[in-house]
Copies of this chain bind each other. A is one copy, B any other.
Amino acid sequence: MKTTVALIEDNAGICEELKLVFAEAPDVTCVSVSRNLQTALRVVPPLAPNVVIMDIQLPDGSGVDGAARLKRLLPETQIVMYTITQDADQIYRALEAGASGYLLKSASPEELIRSIREVRQGGVPMTPEVARKVIQSFRRPAASRSAVEALTKREEEVLELLAQGLASGEIAQALRIGIETVNTHLKHIYGKLHVRSRTEAVIKYRG
């Protein structure tokens, strides 16, 4: 099975190294290399690669957001994060964003190529440390997995009304506060839930 891959990575050295790695695999073709998010979001969607390998730390934004946006534009594309951080929170966010794999940069070239093949066949390649953390998240349920708990009481009230379809003005009326205050609460909610619109907030809230 032929596989097209787009690489999003800012470090030039790693890019070169990965190009060599890809060249070793006859069934893997690297169709694009982007050094930042902005370029990637413009260049990658038209190419519709089978797999995207991307870093989390990018110069112009978080790879997690980038992954979410790419996944929305290309639902069929499998996204594999390739990064140094094994921060549990980053891992969860990446998976929430739609990533299908999470490799640490300590992975060998062979593992990387194997992972690309694996993800194409429906697998979920992860470095063992990462897999372990993912599984652990099931043992302490709902702790870090729902950011909703970080919301203040008022913010939650606003979100609840938002999730009922009310507009800002209507929420203001219902809570007897100013519309500006509602918008301030919304800003804070967006920040805490890592979303960019009321629709996304509602989706996250309603699970």
Q: Which residue of B lies closest to A174 (CB)?
A: B73
Q: Does A114 sit at the interface, judged by CB under 8 A?
A: no
Is the CB of A1 closer than 8 A to any CB of chain B? no
Are A72 and B141 touching (Cβ within 8 A)?
A: no
Closest to A75 in B: B174
One digit per residue, 1 when the CB lies within 8 angstroms of any chain B CB and 0 when it does not, for chain A 40-78 equals 000001000000000000000000000001001101000
B92 touches A138 (CB 8 A): yes
- Does A122 lie at the interface of the complex (its beta carbon under 8 Å from any beta carbon of B)? yes
Q: Given the known A-B contacts A122-B132, A131-B123, are A140 and B202 also in contact in the complex, defined by CB atoms under 8 Å? A: no
Determine whether A26 belongs to the interface, using a CB cutoff of 8 Å to chain B.
Answer: no
- B197-A96 in contact (CB<8A): no
A170 touching B207 by the CB < 8 A rule?
no
The answer to whether B198 touches A96 (Cβ under 8 A) is no
Cβ-based interface call for A20 (8 A): no
Docked complex Cα distance between A63 and B196 (Å):
34
Report B-chain residues with C-beta under 8 Å of the C-beta of A195.
165
6 further interface pairs, Cβ-Cβ under 8 Å (given A96-B138, A122-B131): A72-B161, A72-B164, A124-B131, A165-B197, A165-B200, A206-B206
Find out whether the CB atom of A72 lies under 8 angstroms from the CB atom of B131. no
